[in-house]
């Protein structure tokens, strides 16, 4: 971390939060579809493509949060030397500092970790069948977004779904090719966005009997 410097004002966090939520929706509408198109060059089955993208989203958030945790420890150690307030104000100062200095995040390492995780996933196609680097742009955008979301109080996160779970209309939309009478989730297309246990943006699933 750099020497102590004035952080941004926390009062701007509401607009920052709104921008991050809007960015999440935009990634769903743009980069996700671009990733689908890229993968369809190698994989004909749409379900497999959507499963890959969902796992990529979950792994991107996991990798970004792990990196954020490491950066936060280093920044807190540095700022605590010159900080004059209490623990709660130090926490805010650390989050503001990280939000200001986005270059502290080595996003390339996170992207590499996510691609390797996809290659090792036994439920996804073997690396020889498709190079998951083709969706690195989606992974990069999700990692950067997830990292920034950790600077909010409370932070934003995504849901983690399990195939076969009961469909929750408060958390998910059904995909257009779903069986709308089916009570169970066949697979997940996109994760829901969560804030302190409350669904902020619904995810998407496919339901089948």
* CA distances for 200 relative to 107, 144, 173, 177, 197, angstroms: 25, 19, 13, 24, 9
DSSP H helical ranges for 30-162: 31-40, 46-82, 87-100, 107-120, 136-149
pLDDT band at 14, cuts 50/70/90? confident
Under a CB-based contact definition with an 8 Å cutoff, are residues 52 and 39 in contact? yes
- Residue 11 is given by DSSP the state G
Q: What is the pLDDT of residue 130?
A: 81
Mean pLDDT estimate for the chain? 91
Residue 65 has pLDDT above 70, yes or no: yes
Q: What is the pLDDT of residue 5?
A: 47
pLDDT band at 9, cuts 50/70/90? very low
Q: What is the pLDDT of residue 10?
A: 53
| Residue of higher predicted confidence among 10 and 28 | 28
Indicate if the alpha-carbon torsion angle 160, 203, 23, 194 is positive or negative: negative
Q: What is the pLDDT of residue 129?
A: 73
Comparing CA positions, the residue from 35, 90, 78 lying closest to residue 60 is 35
Residue 24 has pLDDT above 90, yes or no: yes
């Amino acid at each position: 971390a750099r020497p102590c410097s004035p952080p941004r004002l926390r009062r701007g966090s509401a607009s920052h939060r709104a921008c991050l939520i809007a960015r999440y929706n935009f990634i769903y509408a743009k980069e996700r579809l671009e990733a689908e198109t890229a993968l369809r060059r190698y994989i004909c089955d749409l379900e497999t493509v959507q499963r890959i993208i969902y796992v990529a989203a979950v792994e991107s958030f996991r990798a970004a949060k792990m990196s954020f945790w490491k950066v936060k420890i280093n920044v807190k150690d540095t700022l605590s030397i010159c900080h004059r307030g209490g623990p709660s104000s130090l926490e805010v100062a650390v989050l503001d500092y990280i939000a200001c200095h986005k270059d502290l995040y080595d996003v390339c390492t996170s992207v590499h970790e996510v691609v390797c995780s996809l290659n090792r996933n036994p439920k996804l196609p073997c690396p020889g069948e498709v190079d998951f680097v083709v969706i690195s742009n989606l992974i990069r955008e999700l990692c950067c977004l997830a990292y920034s979301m950790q600077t909010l109080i409370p932070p934003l996160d995504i849901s983690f779904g399990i195939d076969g779970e009961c469909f929750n209309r408060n958390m998910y939309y059904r995909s257009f090719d779903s069986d709308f009478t089916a009570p169970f989730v066949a697979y997940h297309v996109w994760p829901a966005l969560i804030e302190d246990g409350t669904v902020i943006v619904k995810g998407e699933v496919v339901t089948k009997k």
